[in-house]
Amino acid sequence: MKQLDESLLAGLPPFSLLQRGDIREILDQATPKRVEAGTEFFHEGHDAERFYLLLDGYIRVVKVTPTGEQIIALHISPGQLFGIAPALSRDTYPATAISVAESIALSWPVRLWADFTTRYQGFATESYRTLGERLGEMQSRITELATQAVEQRIATALLRLVNQSGRKTDQGIEIAFPITRLNISEMTGTTLHTVSRLLSAWERDGIVASRRKHIVITDPHRLMLLSTPES
């Protein structure tokens, strides 16, 4: 990875507290990987052999319930670590990571995790902070499933995706990666029929627009109101 300038990574959470020389040492042990959309980086339950830093693209983290249902736990944006099983004291991956757009990542053998977190204090601090934020997001998702009505959950899920990846277009704010109605149902614990019914109604009302697996929020304020419980 000598061709990758460490200054390009200095602002990312794992490296933001490190000196340039420390970043260089970590990069020199990395292996790059390019993955096509729809391809797994790793599979739930498989031996955790490597951990990753996403440079470009988006990752969908998927879990399978004991009854065989697939749920989308979260999405990973560029600049984030993923597959960090050793941070959870696991030797297998707790979920499946699927690229939802062509993605580029760096990876390291898991045997280096303990060395990195011991030798580079800033790496440990920022990595575990990211992990804490991710666990907090998942806790919020669980709370939403338990307390919010379906309409609120779907609106909240779309707003979360906009905050993570939204990009402005002439129509509004577009979620930057492909997302289907089935994906939304797997994120929100509801049926595909319910998601389709609500999104169709919101399209008629001018709140969202969808085309070819892409969703644009055309009226973010009204969507935010839909995500808020009535007093």
Q: Is the pLDDT of residue 1 over 60?
A: no
Same domain, 80 and 110: yes
Angle, helices 121-147 vs 150-165, to 10°: value is 160
Identify the CATH number of the domain in which residue 103 sits.
2.60.120.10
pLDDT digits (tens, 9 = 90+) for 73-87: 889 999 999 999 999
The pLDDT value recorded for residue 200 is: 95
Residues 6+ apart with CB under 8 A from 45: 92, 93
Identify the CATH number of the domain in which residue 208 sits.
1.10.10.10
Show the tokens assigned to 226. 């839909």
Cα 231 to Cα 51: distance, rounded to the nearest angstrom: 44
Domain membership flag for residue 142: no
Same domain, 172 and 102: no
Global pTM value: 0.84
pLDDT digits (tens, 9 = 90+) for 16-53: 889 999 999 999 999 999 999 999 999 999 999 999 99
Show the tokens assigned to 4. 């990758």
Cα 26 to Cα 24: distance, rounded to the nearest angstrom: 5
Domain that residue 157 falls in:
148-227
Domain membership flag for residue 39: yes
Question: Hunting for tokens 């339950």 — which residue is that?
Answer: 45
pLDDT digits (tens, 9 = 90+) for 185-220: 999 989 999 999 999 999 999 999 988 889 999 999
pLDDT digits (tens, 9 = 90+) for 94-140: 999 999 999 999 999 999 999 999 999 889 888 888 888 888 887 88
Same domain, 129 and 152: no
Domain membership flag for residue 63: yes
Same domain, 153 and 88: no
Cα 118 to Cα 122: distance, rounded to the nearest angstrom: 10
Helix (H) or strand (E) holding 170: none
Cα 81 to Cα 15: distance, rounded to the nearest angstrom: 11
Cα 163 to Cα 165: distance, rounded to the nearest angstrom: 6
Counts for the chain of helices (H) and strands (E), in that order: 7, 12
